[in-house]
Amino acid sequence: MRSCGDCQLCCKLLPVREIAKLANTRCQHQKRGKGCGVYHTKAMPPSCKLWSCRWLVTDRTQSLRRPDRAGYVVDIMPDYVTIRNDLDGSFQHVAVIQIWVDPARPNLWRYDYDLLAYLDHMGREENLRALIRNGSNDAIFVSPPSLNPDGTWFIHESGVSGPAHTPVDYAKAGFAMTMHLEER
């Protein structure tokens, strides 16, 4: 089983609502070289207790580098985007894997062929696209070749933003999750 080791990238990139921590800011509890100062204590935020990166918990990410070395964190928590069909005006909720990128290396994910292979596999196996998050309200929508009729990558770099979804929003989108799903 993998362990975090020296990696603390999630403590920088992900927002944590309970302590008003914004995305891309260092957590107040993060201790350089030691990790979380409130890990496994009552002061640890509930969303942090529930959360793990996909690199730690699934064999499907075995070809990916550790998040601090890769420059991104693959979130265990899914999200969704709503897509409007320009031809008929209909809307569709689309499940996405959230990938939080280090603002110091915002484009590294584009050249990580292991990540792109993982995203294409997740598209083929679980019908998932990706949301490359550059913060809480800025993201890039990515649909892998396995989900596109022309077999190419679809990357939409503007107009993908918005507030965190509520558990009711997730239920309406068809997610059957029992854990708390609001963005941290």
Q: Six-digit token pair at 7?
A: 């990696």
Q: Indicate the pLDDT class of residue 182, thresholds 50, 70 and 90.
A: very low
On whether residue 183 sits in a domain, the answer given is no
Q: What angle do CA 128, 77, 155 make, to 5 degrees?
A: 40
Q: How many alpha carbons fall within 13 Å on the CB side of residue 111?
A: 5
Which of the pair, 138 or 174, is modelled with greater confidence? 138
Domain count, the chain: 1
pLDDT digits (tens, 9 = 90+) for 95-148: 999 999 999 999 999 999 999 999 999 999 999 999 999 887 788 999 999 999
Name the residue range of residue 125's domain.
Answer: 9-172
Quote the pTM value.
0.82
Q: Six-digit token pair at 138?
A: 């800025």
Q: Indicate the pLDDT class of residue 81, thresholds 50, 70 and 90.
A: confident
Q: Six-digit token pair at 46?
A: 């509930």
Handedness of CA 86, 89, 95, 100 (dihedral sign): positive
Q: Which pLDDT belongs to residue 177?
A: 38
Q: Indicate the pLDDT class of residue 164, thresholds 50, 70 and 90.
A: low
What are the CA-CA distances from residue 36 to residues 2, 33, 91, 103 (Å)? 18, 9, 41, 21
Q: What is the mean pLDDT of residues 50-73?
A: 94
| Lowest-confidence segment of 104-108, 150-154, 178-182 by average pLDDT | 178-182
Q: Is the pLDDT of residue 181 over 50?
A: no
Q: Which pLDDT belongs to residue 180?
A: 32
C-beta of residue 29 within 8 angstroms of C-beta of residue 35: no
Q: Is the pLDDT of residue 173 over 60?
A: no
pLDDT digits (tens, 9 = 90+) for 1-15: 788 888 999 999 999
